[in-house]
Structure 1
Amino acid sequence: MRRFRAVAGAAVAAALLATTTACGGGSPTGGDADASPRTLTYWASNQGPNLEADRKVLEPELRKFEERTGITVELEVVPWPDLLNRIMAATTSGQGPDVLNIGNTWSSSLQATGALLPWDEGNLARIGGRERFVEAAFASTGTAGRAPAAVPLYSMAYALYYNKKMFADAGVTRPPATWDELVATGKRLSGNGRWALGAEGSNLSNNIHQVFVLGKQHGADFFDAQGRPDFTSDGAVAAVKQYVDLMATHRIVAPGNAEYAQNQSLSDFAKGRTAMVLWQAAATTFASQGMDDNEWGVAPAPVRSGAPGRGRNVNSMVSGVNLAVFENTDNLDGALEFVEFMTSDEEQRILCGRYGSVPPVKAAQDGPAFDRPELRVLRDTLATSAAPLPQVPSESQFETVVGTAVKNLFAAAASGDAVTTESVRAELDKAQRQMPRQ
């Protein structure tokens, strides 16, 4: 582990640690490469079906980097439920890695701690410049008007995955394009121990992703123009109620899904227990659970009416993983060299190809690996109809408190309690009162 001084944003870090549950000493100096340490520590996020799968993907690439540079990379793959708390603890304890993966939705929150290296024009020039990256991916790298806190590494978007056989058995000829169609189709698919749609009511991040998109479709952003929480607007309330009503009113989501956490809905889908799931870059997970590619199809996530696009027809958040450097690394040159390696055209094709994600580097998107039906849908969604989650310092608290509000409402629905506009507004009001004062 590298040691670095405590940052000025320690109060921000402490506030985040109080509310979040997640997805080397010395100053950085230049100098010639021979004077720099020959080791880097890297915290990678869990991208594959398990931690061992990630090590099998990453370790050959890290050895390649060592052969080219003489720098050894000490790898730790950190599970998503632990990653944010581990990062925040590192910003306050003075111990952390040189380079790390972060969920792109956390960029502004982590930027506010002051612990991450700003990617100013000089640092961006070291890796080829901002213009190499897809603009949608760069929109989730930090607060507007400030140097980014990270650079994009893997890009993803949400899509609707469906079981072809279950659709055919129910006489459904095409995937639903609107929410009304999804509910109507869902009622035809539910029954005999099977359910139309999978959800993860105890997965706070997934709850936020879904209700944020529905909020955009209802004209709500959850934050006002000054970055203040606005969780109880009519649009925000309608978005949360619409999502929970898939279980509470329409009964196309199994009540047991209220207790589901990370990836449990994907397992049900792969085993034929549910006919549809809204997820991001799911192909590798399906394959790891024994599902053949020809058993499932993929389509853009639903909108209220018309076709996906900007404004109220946003149908995905900009999902993905960013790569960041702790500002007080004692091997800044090596860390920048590592980021350059990981975001190179060559490595982007290799890593994104193995993880089934969309390369955020434009030049890496060519080739058959990224021309499969799933990747075409995800790539088009990112380019035309995805929006970044609010890039505000309190974003990670937002994920926790509103994600928990949705979890509580799913629990009520699973218990048979009525989910009303008033009960939704009350949960969101409670969530808003837990946010830090601006």
Structure 2
Amino acid sequence: MSVRARTAIGAVVGATVLAVLPGCGGGTSTDSGGNSHPKTLTYWASNQGASLEDDKAKLTPELQAFEKQTGIKVKLEVVPWSDLLNRILAATTSGQGPDVMNIGNTWSASLQATGALLPFDDKNFAKIGGKGRFQESALGSTGTAGKPPTAVPLYSLAYALYYNKKLFGDAGISKPPATWNELVQDGKKLTTGGHTGLAIEGASIPENTHHAYIFAKQHGGDFFDAQGNPTFTAPGVAEGVKQYVDFVAGDKIASPSDAEYAQNESVRDFASGKAGMILWQAGGKNFQSHGMKPDDYGVAPVPVQSGAPGQGQNVNSMVAGINIAVFKNTGNLDGALKFVQFMTSDAEQKKLNSEYGSIPSVKTAAQDPAFATPEQNILRTTIATSATPLPQVPKESQFEQVIGGALKDLLADAAAGHPVTLESVRSRLAKAQQQM
């Protein structure tokens, strides 16, 4: 999911996704798809930049260039993350939506299950330059394994640990933490004089879900079995969730007020020097938009229990990012595929990922020296060696809602001074599994 995907998704009921009739989808016409409107396209873009207006400023010149090349005018709407999933689900049920849209890559399997999106089989991949152009790690978050993807990667992202160099120096900390024990120790040194050690976004459903998933993985747990059934009470899951909640509850290196954050408040706290560390997806451009200079912060891999990121229990990020999809009943199928080809071209991949601080999903574009900054080298290495996709199961959207909500409740309990124990975590996770 996007670097901007920090606000609550809204109530998402899994049955909403699964009940959609195959073939029903968005588009600019009520026909069953084709090329009835060959000169226009509608495009829902996700909010990647500092604001909706920032995205419009970045995207409009590119859409004008596409119109100049093809004669196809693109009507742009930048949709906030707080609305995007519900807007998409409404479009899949009503048949009234855009021709092309961005989706958080974690939603790929859920939206694939609606039957509303165009499958990118070999024929459709060939029309946009071929499947082999894309990073394999990014393709891993485009839908259920064994089925043609219904979206293709656009921007690739991963989590990193960002730290305030001045606050670290003032606290006598010489290097970023590599293990969670070190992070907690450093966080306690930083929690003084009105500063906190770590900023978190405790009321953000996506943020909570991402961290719950990765922390559970590091404890050997998983939220689904091989058949896609929820296993929220499996060994390791509660231990991972508790470790994250303990940043507020037991370790007290994150402020209780962070439990109410859901609108990038943690970014502002970090950028202003109120917090010494933050776990964020490709955060550099975002911090700079809030007045922080690149030399003010350092970047390191997200810690793991052993201090050596890798696979298995050493994963330290989900494979984050944005995919681009076409509604099956678009009124301009040929134009929609041309637009996807344009947005995933080397030139556009380099330009837009440079604007957003993300990594191109296209192999040749990602090799450009412009994407070899210290931050992006860490992001690229994380994506390639120590990240894992969120569960590519039809109920993934519902999983995000119930698990993100469970952590929101647990963090609120911690902020209120109520004890958070393994038993209380297991109880809340059992309730979440019942909701599934």
Q: 1:36·1:334 contact (CA, 8 Å) conserved in 2?
A: no
Q: 1:36·1:333 contact (CA, 8 Å) conserved in 2?
A: no
Q: What is the distance in 2 between the residues matched to 1:108 and 1:274?
A: 36
Q: Provide the residue aligned with 1:280 in structure 2.
A: 281
Q: Provide the residue aligned with 2:367 in structure 1.
A: 366
- Counterpart mapping for 1:375-386 below 5 A: 375-386=376-387
Q: Provide the residue aligned with 2:57 in structure 1.
A: 56
Instruction: Give the C-alpha shift of residue 36 in structure 1.
Output: 5.2
In the TM superposition, what whole-angstrom CA distance separates every residue of 1:5-27 from its partner, at most 9, and x where no partner exists? xxxxx9643769xxxxxxx2223
Instruction: Give the C-alpha shift of residue 368 in structure 1.
Output: 3.5
Q: Provide the residue aligned with 1:424 in structure 2.
A: 425
- Alignment length (residue pairs): 415
- Root-mean-square deviation (Å): 1.3
Which runs of structure 1 show a deviation greater than 6 angstroms over 4 or more consecutive aligned residues?
A: none
In the TM superposition, what whole-angstrom CA distance separates every residue of 1:272-318 from its partner, at most 9, and x where no partner exists? 00000000011111111111000000000000004110111000000
Q: Provide the residue aligned with 2:94 in structure 1.
A: 93
Q: 2:99·2:327 contact (CA, 8 Å) conserved in 1?
A: yes
Q: What is the distance in 1 between the residues matched to 2:18 and 2:93?
A: 8
Q: What is the distance in 2 between the residues matched to 1:111 and 1:380?
A: 28
- Counterpart mapping for 1:114-193 below 5 A: 114-193=115-194
Q: 1:213·1:317 contact (CA, 8 Å) conserved in 2?
A: yes
What SS is found at the alignment partner of 1:42? Answer: strand
Is 2:341 the partner of 1:320? Answer: no
Q: Provide the residue aligned with 2:5 in structure 1.
A: none
- Counterpart mapping for 1:279-318 below 5 A: 279-318=280-319
Q: 1:12·1:113 contact (CA, 8 Å) conserved in 2?
A: no
In the TM superposition, what whole-angstrom CA distance separates every residue of 1:139-183 from its partner, at most 9, and x where no partner exists? 000000100010000000000000000000000000000001101
10, 17, 26: which one aligns with 1:13: 17
Q: What is the distance in 2 between the residues matched to 1:279 and 1:260?
A: 14
Instruction: Give the C-alpha shift of residue 246 in structure 1.
Output: 1.0
Q: Provide the residue aligned with 2:10 in structure 1.
A: none
Name the aligned partner's letter for residue 308 of structure 2: A
Instruction: Give the C-alpha shift of residue 48 in structure 1.
Output: 0.2
In the TM superposition, what whole-angstrom CA distance separates every residue of 1:47-81 from its partner, at most 9, and x where no partner exists? 00100000000000000000000000000000001
What SS is found at the alignment partner of 2:145? Answer: coil
Q: What is the distance in 2 between the residues matched to 1:315 and 1:87?
A: 29
Q: Provide the residue aligned with 1:236 in structure 2.
A: 237
Is 2:32 the partner of 1:27? Answer: yes
Instruction: Give the C-alpha shift of residue 220 in structure 1.
Output: 1.3
In the TM superposition, what whole-angstrom CA distance separates every residue of 1:114-134 from its partner, at most 9, and x where no partner exists? 000001000001111111111
Name the aligned partner's letter for residue 28 of structure 1: G
Q: What is the distance in 2 between the residues matched to 1:213 and 1:235?
A: 11
Q: 1:132·1:361 contact (CA, 8 Å) conserved in 2?
A: yes
Q: What is the distance in 2 between the residues matched to 1:407 and 1:36?
A: 45
Structure 2 unaligned residues grouped into runs of 5+? 1-13, 21-28
- When normalised by structure 2's length, the TM-score is 0.93
Q: Provide the residue aligned with 1:65 in structure 2.
A: 66
Q: What is the distance in 2 between the residues matched to 1:256 and 1:42?
A: 37
Q: 1:313·1:385 contact (CA, 8 Å) conserved in 2?
A: yes
Q: 2:233·2:430 contact (CA, 8 Å) conserved in 1?
A: yes
Q: Provide the residue aligned with 1:405 in structure 2.
A: 406
Instruction: Give the C-alpha shift of residue 101 in structure 1.
Output: 0.3
Structure 1 unaligned residues grouped into runs of 5+? 1-9, 17-23
Q: 2:34·2:330 contact (CA, 8 Å) conserved in 1?
A: no
- When normalised by structure 1's length, the TM-score is 0.93
Instruction: Give the C-alpha shift of residue 210 in structure 1.
Output: 0.7
Name the aligned partner's letter for residue 54 of structure 1: D
Is 2:204 the partner of 1:199? Answer: no
Q: 2:31·2:329 contact (CA, 8 Å) conserved in 1?
A: yes
Percent sequence identity over matched residues? 62
